[in-house]
Chains A and B, each alone.
Chain A
Amino acid sequence: MTTRAEIREEADRLFAAFKAAGATAVEADTLLPADTLLDLYGEDIRARAYVTADPLRGEMMLRPDFTVPVVQAHMQGGADPARYCYMGEVYRKQDHLGPRASEYLQVGFELFDRAEPQAADAEVFALFHSLLAPLGARALTGDIGILMAAVNGLTTSPHRRAALLRHIWRPARFRNLLDRFSDRAAPTQARTDMLNRLQSGDTAALIAATGPITGLRTQAEITQRAQTLLDDAQTPPLNAPEAALLYDLLTLQAPARAALSHLRGITPMLPAIEPAVDRFATRLDALERHGINPSDLAFQASHGRSSMEYYDGFVFSFQGPGNGAANAPPIALGGRYDALTAHLGQGRSIPAVGGIIRPGLVAALRGIT
């Protein structure tokens, strides 16, 4: 069992390493406004973060992570490029008994850089790798940008592309949509019945027949979505080769260099992914220059889709050696989150990549090895 003192010592060691890598230490509030976090993460964050009430500032949350306050601080006038590091407790409600702690230290590193995003990805990963690989932690990488590019390149209606993109981070629903759009799953009886009803008459008359309209959602909104449903029913299924490539991509896992060859092989059939695949190649070369062998680096195209919302490019995590419990949390995780900075920057944005390490798990690993 690791003591708090050992964990603190480990955190200090990691924090010093981040500072030595050129990062400026930043502090963040423990109490964060709930609305910003809710806006970003949705209702799920209520199940994960401790919510409390402030008499003047309204609903607040105990810091569930550092990303939001660090990005906000940077957007309000940070240097460009900039490297930041931080250390402190985060708080996560746990609804189930198990190995996950509800309060633990995090040490993090974030890099904001417009010039060369793939070099920045490699720099951050190499830094984490240098601290964790000697202890036997195993790295797993992914790239959500490739999947997003593949969806954006589908020959189908903008509506279907938007529906798939919206659910990139919810794999089960994404899969349902993909099954439906590619005709691999028959429409449900409920959907067929509704389409028949919508086709049976004028939308305004159908709405009127149900009685008064209650609530904020207007007749125009109902009519618009009814039309979208009717249009969608006329949309031909995704063409078979494109759908097959997307299914293939969802399950692609291989050493990074081999994954690149595979992606190069399918690019002629899905040309829209070419820029994303080029970026992947550039990143692997950059990693190689940091002494990391891409032929020996685990890659999964779907990695990070369920655990790391807001990541929209390169993603990585580190797990302890051995099998461990299936739901054991990763020792470290991180990735690129360009869209998040645009969201929090209210119009301004900057490419950003970063990650966190859990010193408690590192200290435990050090105790084993």
Chain B
Amino acid sequence: MTLKIGVPSKGRLMEKTFDWFGARGVTMARTGSDREYAGAVDGVAGVELVLLSAGEIPRDLAAGRIHLGVTGSDLVRDKLADWQAQVAEIAPLGFGHADLIIAVPTAWIDVDTVDDLDAAAAAFRARHGHRLRIATKYHRLVREFLTAQGVADYQLVDSQGATEGTVKNLTAEAIADITSSGETLRANHLKILSDGLIHASQATLFAARAADWTSDTRATLNTLCAQLGVTASL
């Protein structure tokens, strides 16, 4: 039985993943035509490459359909409840860095910290009759962060894209989104709360606890880990 490893199927995340494994003697490549999602692995026997959408890799790991997977640590934490019970983190890969942050309009000169946001939310609710809305697609991560900080009088509104535009469009008062350079935030007149870093994400190699771990796949995992210079504790 082969050990299945799920890798992002396109773009920089795929290329960087191939580079990371390649630098450690495990060659990954797409096969067939440009459009066909098929791949091959050389360097360790018994490993099968599965090309998947990065956003779906957490779900496939949770279901145990793949043994290993490369995806953003933010996606695993947000999409999987009790993520540590479902997957094991094997190694951060050092690329795909993005910070999940909370940002508010730059005009809010009275708001710099989560504490300020909480106080502003109380006043906002009293004045406008509804809770201060925070647009995000990272519902679990953002809610857990704000609950742990004891923030009240806010609500999350779903935004699957162009989240920085929601404030201008009056569908949210603040946002929680990933950013790498902060340029889009500045262009949309938003600033990051000084203590509003929810999670510093990067591409990470995960192992699925629910995968079919036979003596074969375990042996392959050990060989692969030795080759990569990492350890997996399942």
Contacts and interface: CB of A to CB of B under 8 A. Distances in A.
A184 interface: no
Contact of A206 (B109, B116, B190): B109
A188 interface: yes
28 contacts: A42-B152, A42-B154, A46-B143, A47-B144, A47-B147, A95-B81, A95-B82, A96-B81, A97-B82, A167-B150, A188-B113, A191-B112, A191-B113, A191-B115, A194-B109, A198-B109, A203-B109, A207-B107, A210-B106, A210-B109, A214-B168, A216-B128, A217-B120, A217-B124, A222-B110, A224-B123, A225-B111, A225-B123
Contacts, number: 113
Interface in A160-196: 163, 166-167, 170, 172-174, 176, 188, 190-191, 193-194
B170 interface: yes
A222 B127 CA distance: 12
Interface of A: 38, 42-44, 46-47, 95-97, 163, 166-167, 170, 172-174, 176, 188, 190-191, 193-194, 197-198, 203, 206-207, 210-217, 219, 221-222, 224-226, 229
B210 interface: no
A216 B151 CA distance: 20
A214 B109 contact: no
A222 B170 contact: no
Contacts of B85: 96-97
Nearest to B139: A46
A92 B167 CA distance: 32
B19 interface: no
B194 A173 contact: no
SS class, residues of chain A in contact with chain B? helix
B121 to A, nearest CB: 10
B99 interface: no
Interface string B116-141: 10111011100110010000000110
B194 A47 contact: no
A172 B151 CA distance: 10
Contact of A222 (B107, B149, B156, B189): B107
B107 A210 contact: yes
Which of A42, A219, A224 has the most C-beta atoms of chain B within 10 angstroms of its own C-beta? A42
Interface string B142-181: 0110110111111110000000000110101100000000
Contacts of A43: 131, 143, 146, 154-156
Nearest to A93: B81
Contact of B105 (A47, A170, A197, A215): A215
Contacts of A212: 107, 189
A222 B119 CA distance: 12
B167 A229 contact: no
Interface pairs A-B: 6 shortest CB-CB = A173-B150, A170-B150, A213-B107, A210-B106, A225-B110, A215-B167
Most buried by B among A163, A170, A217, A219: A217
